[in-house]
Amino acid sequence: MNETVKVIRFHQTGGSDVLSIEEIQLSQLKKNEVLVRVQAVAMSRLDLLWRAGSHFEEPEFPAQIGYDAAGIVESVGPEVKTLKVGDLVSTLPAVSLLDYAAHGEAIIYPETALIVYPKSLTPVQAAAVNTGLFTAHFALLELA
């Protein structure tokens, strides 16, 4: 893969003013990874904590950002079993931002952190639902 894409990155922690749009080269897909052409992104509280340097992990600069995105599967690694080219997928908050970030024109993400979303949702809705849903689920069912 020899594609350059625009992503959102930051070189120091802080407010929204530290974010910039930069071009990076996508890496080759690993066996269990998927290339997703992003159609929508959402910002969650986890992203705000990450950008501010208050997340449980410390960013390594330059750092990418984004737990939440939705898009179309463009290609899959050789060991991907559940997803295929053309699937509409959204990201799950199941990765470290040190390894994977979702705010870009195209992203490489592990198969295990993507789900096919219902066609009744728009990409914007699909991008915004997962982190909030899992946070509420955890708070209500695991903690309460």
pLDDT for 132: 76
The structure's pTM equals: 0.91
Mean pLDDT, all residues of the chain:
94
pLDDT at 135 over 80: no
List, for residues 81-100, the tens digit of each pLDDT value: 999 999 999 999 899 999 99
Interatomic CA distance for residues 39 and 71, integer angstroms: 5
Do the Cβ atoms of 107 and 89 come closer than 8 Å?
no
pLDDT at 142 over 90: no
pLDDT band at 2 (very low <50, low <70, confident <90, very high): confident
List, for residues 115-129, the tens digit of each pLDDT value: 999 999 999 999 999
CATH number at residue 78: 3.90.180.10
Q: What is the total count of domains within the chain?
A: 1
Do the Cβ atoms of 35 and 26 come closer than 8 Å?
yes
pLDDT band at 104 (very low <50, low <70, confident <90, very high): very high
Do the Cβ atoms of 32 and 77 come closer than 8 Å?
yes
Burial 20-52 (b: 16+ CB within 10 A, else e): eeeeeebeebeeebbbbebbbbbbbebbeebbe
**Domain range spanning residue 65?**
4-143
Q: Which residue has the tokens 């269990």?
A: 32
